[in-house]
Amino acid sequence: MGGTAAASTPRGLGVREAVRGDAAARAVVWTAVAAMLVQTTVGAANEFTLESAFLNPDEEGSLFQLVTAAVTAAAGAAAAAHAIIHPARRRRFAALSVILFYFACDDVFVLHERMGEAVGESLFGLSGHIAVRLWILLLAPLLAAAFLLIAAEALRAERAVRNVLLGGLGALVAAVVVEVGGAVTRSPSFIERVSGKPETLRYLLEEALELGGWILLAGGLWVLLSARADVEVGADARTP
């Protein structure tokens, strides 16, 4: 009886919102971990058995690349929803939404790698395995803008959601660092001298970090939207 009464008070609403937010944040983390494990397991098994391009996480247009693009689009949709529902942050969330939807389309149509190859090979005469990574420099302004916009919102959020969003950013930064390593492991001379196994391990790690990072960001942004809606409902409930 007393517990029911407490839950109906503004304070009880706040506790319930916090518990629900923590549970949602944990669900996002476990979803990211499960997706990373499934992708890595399937990718590794495929590398040494079927060798199917559709099941290779490193192949553009493959199953997991499309999944990553879909999750990125979900993050863009969450940012768009924030922009619509919260006018005070409309401009920054609208900008973030546009950037994230571009990243999703980029993944589907392989724009970043084509740009890198075109610039690196045509203008600078770089080898393909190096030129393809120039997208990091070409997209640096958009990457930095998305990072700063998400980090700013993460720092305003409750601890559980903040950790999810910052974890997603950290995973994506780590994926870019691992991507740079491909300039070595994908080098023909390195593969001839050592083997292709380091490159396999590298791309499995990179793609796992990328998928996990986007799931954390997409899930974190949706949880953040729900939490802010709950806060507004709670505020209305406290209004006499």
In a domain, 137, yes or no: yes
- Digit-coded pLDDT (tens) for 52-93: 999 999 998 899 999 999 999 999 999 999 999 989 889 999
Mean per-residue pLDDT, 4-33: 71
Distances (CA, A) of 84 to 90, 98, 142, 221: 7, 13, 22, 14
d(CA 18, CA 158): 8
pTM of the model: 0.89
Cβ neighbours, 10 Å, residue 113: 16
Q: What is the predicted pLDDT for the residue at 93?
A: 97
pLDDT in tens, 99-120: 999 999 999 998 888 888 788 7
Q: Give the structural domain span for 71.
A: 10-238
Please, is 218 exposed, middle or buried when counting C-beta atoms within 10 Å of its C-beta (0-12, 13-18, 19+)?
buried
- DSSP string for 186-226: T-HHHHHHS-SHHHHHHHHHHHHHHHHHHHHHHHHHHHHHH
* pLDDT of residue 234 exceeding 70: no
pLDDT at 126: 78
Q: Which two tokens stand for residue 217?
A: 């960001």
Predicted confidence at residue 15, as pLDDT, reads 58
- Asked if residue 3 belongs to a domain, the reply is no
Number of domains present in the structure of the chain: 1
Residue 2 located in a structural domain:
no
